[in-house]
């Protein structure tokens, strides 16, 4: 391991001082079950143990990951059931996921695809990628392609360009969206070559996965700015995580910072029922209370939609707090400060 390489094992973590020697055997057991990787950019930000530091909590393995509850699932969002050909998930008529790889530069401890991602995860072969692209070209209902994985920005710019060019040539595809954590966790990968590989006549979106304002280092901000200046539209996705961002202050700081980078906060995901992630999950009531507080204190542009992926592959739905209650005469509406008002209409 040199200072420029990612941490991938209990001994790497111990050498970097991120776990104590006494924790090593337990962490080795976690690492045998779920992949481990922490990039230098993230390792350098960690300033304490997972129970105290929001960056450590997201990336440093923890023995609580070996505690599984009965409701947790290997495929919590049900990708498998909607996969007509390898690498494609087609859940809604007008959009598909295209998953060319299962590798990520970091392995988040709460990952919803933690049973599928990892360095041993199989990437699509060239023939499988051709088949997946042919599936998209052969389905005129597909308007949007969401390139995900794994992290598609872990691919070489040459391979990204190949995917963008193939999708750009499909007349009925209007939007190409990349889901990535790279601009935050490995900003040095956002090179001019990578940015150029996203060039297309189609609308190209990048959805950035980020959960805490401390992830938005100067290098991460520069990487995002490069993408925005190249005409890429950016939105963000965050996961509501206990001990990471489950306070109004943490969420407000994150969403405001994103807005200043011209990144629209898009989704706040309720924690999925992935195995060994119970210590991260808040209750839905807690999530709704947070969203209610944000509504009164944060500009509307900074409000993401709080969503739940229904287990079993039944899709994603908004689960934010309700502000409208039906009465016999009309409605009672709750304002952002909690006051109630009759509305007849």
As a whole number of angstroms, the distance between CA 302 and CA 127 comes to 42
Name the minimum Å distance from CB 113 to ligand SF4: 5
Select from 209, 212, 214, 270 the one that contacts ligand SF4 (CB under 6 A): 209
Residue span binding ligand SF4 (CB under 6 A) among the ranges 68-76, 111-119, 290-298, 306-314: 111-119
Q: Which residues contact 316 (CB under 8 A, 6 or more apart)?
A: 307, 308, 309, 310
In angstroms, what is the minimal distance from the CB of 128 to ligand SF4?
19
* Preceding amide of 272 cis, omega within 30: no
Q: What's the distance, Cα to Cα, between the start and end of the chain in Å?
A: 66
Instruction: Tell me how far, at minimum, the Cβ of 209 lies from ligand SF4, in Å.
Output: 6
* Interface with ligand SF4 in residues 158-197 (CB under 6 A): 181
Which of 12, 104, 161, 306 is the catalytic position?
104
Q: Looking at 113, 177, 212, 279, which residue binds ligand SF4 (CB under 6 A)?
A: 113
Number of residues in contact with ligand SF4 under rule CB under 6 A = 10
Per the annotation, the verdict on 108 as an active-site residue is yes
Instruction: Name every residue whose Cβ is closer than 8 Å to that of residue 198 and which is 6 or more positions away in sequence.
Output: 160, 164, 178, 204, 206, 227, 230, 232
Q: What is the 3-state secondary structure (H, E, C) of 242-304?
A: CCCCCCHHHHHHHHHHHHHCCEEEEEEECCCCECCCCCCCCCHHHHHHHHHHHHHHCCHHHCC
Note if 309 is an active site residue. yes
Q: Catalytic residue at 343?
A: no
175 forms beta bridges with 144, 203
Task: Answer positive or negative: Cα dihedral of 240, 186, 207, 132.
Answer: negative
* Catalytic site residue from 33, 92, 202, 256: 92
Considering the candidates 16, 316, 323, 331, report the single residue annotated as catalytic: 316
Catalytic residue among 114, 177, 272, 275: 272
Told to check if 111 binds ligand SF4 by CB under 6 A, we report yes
Secondary structure (3-state) at 183: helix
Complex with ligand SF4: residue 108 or 263, whichever CB lies closer: 108
117 binds ligand SF4 per the rule CB under 6 A: yes
Q: Active site residue: 12, 111, 151, 267, which one?
A: 111
Give the helix/strand (H/E) hosting 226: helix 218-229
Q: Is 224 tagged catalytic?
A: no
Instruction: State the DSSP code for 208.
Output: E
Q: What is the largest CA-CA distance in the chain?
A: 70
Task: Convert residues 80-109 into a mask of x (bound to ligand SF4 by CB under 6 A) and - (unbound).
Answer: ------------------------x--xx-
Does the active-site annotation cover 95?
A: yes
What is the pairing mode between strands 340-343 and 203-209?
unpaired
Compute the distance between CA of residue 334 and CA of residue 337 in angstroms, rounded to an integer.
Answer: 8
State yes or no: residue 270 binds ligand SF4 (CB under 6 A). no
> Residue from 53, 151, 293, 309 that binds ligand SF4 (CB under 6 A)?
151
Question: Which residues partner with 115 through β-bridges?
Answer: none
Q: Which is nearer to ligand SF4, 87 or 293 (CB)?
A: 87
56 makes contact with ligand SF4 (CB under 6 A): no
Least distance from ligand SF4 to the Cβ atom of residue 180, Å: 8
Closest approach, Cβ 155 to ligand SF4, in A, equals: 13
99 is catalytic: no
State the residues that interact with ligand SF4 by CB under 6 A.
Answer: 104, 107-108, 111, 113, 117, 150-151, 181, 209
Active site positions, annotated: 91-92, 95, 104, 108, 111, 113, 272, 309, 316
């Amino acid at each position: 391991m040199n200072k420029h390489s990612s941490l991938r094992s209990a001994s790497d973590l111990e050498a970097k001082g991120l776990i104590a020697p006494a924790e090593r055997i337990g962490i080795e057991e976690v690492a045998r079950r779920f992949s481990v990787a922490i990039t230098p950019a993230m390792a350098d930000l960690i300033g304490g143990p997972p129970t105290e530091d929001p960056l450590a909590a997201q990336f440093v393995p923890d023995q609580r990951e070996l505690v599984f509850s009965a409701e947790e699932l290997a495929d919590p969002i049900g990708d498998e059931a909607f996969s007509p050909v390898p690498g494609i998930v087609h859940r809604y008529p007008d959009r598909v996921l295209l998953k060319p790889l299962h590798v990520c530069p970091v392995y988040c401890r709460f990952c919803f695809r933690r049973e599928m991602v990892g360095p041993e995860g199989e990437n699509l072969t060239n023939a499988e990628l051709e088949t997946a692209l042919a599936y998209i070209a052969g389905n005129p209902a597909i308007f949007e392609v969401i390139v995900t994985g794994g992290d598609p920005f872990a691919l070489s710019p040459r391979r990204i360009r190949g995917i963008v060019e193939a999708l750009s040539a499909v007349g009925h595809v209007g939007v190409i969206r990349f889901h990535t954590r790279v601009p935050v966790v490995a900003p040095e990968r956002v090179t001019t070559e990578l940015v150029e590989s996203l060039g297309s006549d189609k609308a190209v979106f990048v959805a950035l996965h980020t959960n805490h304002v401390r992830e938005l280092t100067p290098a991460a901000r520069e990487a995002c700015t490069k993408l925005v200046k190249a005409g890429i539209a950016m939105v963000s996705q965050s996961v509501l995580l206990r001990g990471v961002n489950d306070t109004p202050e943490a969420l407000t700081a994150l969403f405001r910072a994103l807005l200043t980078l011209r990144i629209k906060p898009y989704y706040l995901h309720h924690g999925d029922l992935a195995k060994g992630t119970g210590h991260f999950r808040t209750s839905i009531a807690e999530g709704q209370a947070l969203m209610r507080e944000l509504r009164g204190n944060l500009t509307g542009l900074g409000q993401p939609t709080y969503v739940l992926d229904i287990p079993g592959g039944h899709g994603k739905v908004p689960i934010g707090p309700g502000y409208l209650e039906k009465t016999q005469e009309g409605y009672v509406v709750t304002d952002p400060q909690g006051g109630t008002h009759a509305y007849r209409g």
